[in-house]
Structure 1
């Protein structure tokens, strides 16, 4: 980076990056997982899966929420030489770094269907829904503060892609129109005004 600038990735985009693979992998695993009768039977498996989905979707958004809030409150303004990473690059990097974990989770959900049909897939889908809800919460936090939250790319890489890991010392902030992602990490619907 020129003149001491840092590469920065959006916090909400990093959180949201795992939501779609977990959701769609979970839906696929649950759909295929309904086919074998399993040890418990389909009805019990689907009911257990529904409970796991609800619990995961409720718990995942709450995990490390205090740490996110503390880092957001202490965020410092990004410097003019900092480089804002595109949304697509952040998503691609996170998914590439976690592809084996995502594949292992999908295979485990499929394998678990022979014991409890569809439950593992619904658990994965619940985790994906929970990440989406956490990203939406971050979006509300960003709107309330009127600032987007960013994390240094090198800290993110050092901590396995976790935006609230031990290597993350602080967040940076920019104006609400910076970057190519809206508050919460979704794609911007309209071009930002300069």
Structure 2
């Protein structure tokens, strides 16, 4: 497969305290290596706490507050998992609106593990084929999604994966979708 170039693209990573560190760092490194500018967006200023499962890992400096950015400023979005991270994001209206706007603008979005919780709150999974950490299966089905247990699922620019073991496929597919750009069928509920 030809290496995809993301030169000239800006990709937002939306996260807050409690994100699964490897689900942010591996896609970050891969997308940056493909040439994109990567931007850490959060509802919190300063730094946010990464996790290695249930143990504290590193902290990361936030580049921009979600209240001060727009999906128009970016070419794609990555939603890392971890349990606390998406649970907090889905209760933050600025974060939910930010996510929803990527779908309204037909831009690719990649969510892994518990990341789809925020997609449910944004009401953008109805009639879409997705995967996630297994405990989100019922939540996603109740939100109208078709949940499958597969390494990586792509539905019109929405890339989802289950867990850190899926990161190689998740990163490759996210880069492919970010390189492709807008998707006519990508839309918000």
In which range does the TM-score fall when normalised by the shorter chain?
Answer: under 0.3
If you compute each CA radius of gyration, which structure gives the higher value, 1 or 2?
Answer: 1
Q: Which has the higher helix share?
A: 1
Q: Which has the higher strand share?
A: 2
Higher relative contact order by CA 8 Å / sep ≥ 6: 1 or 2? 1
TM-score by length of 2: 0.25
TM-score by length of 1: 0.24
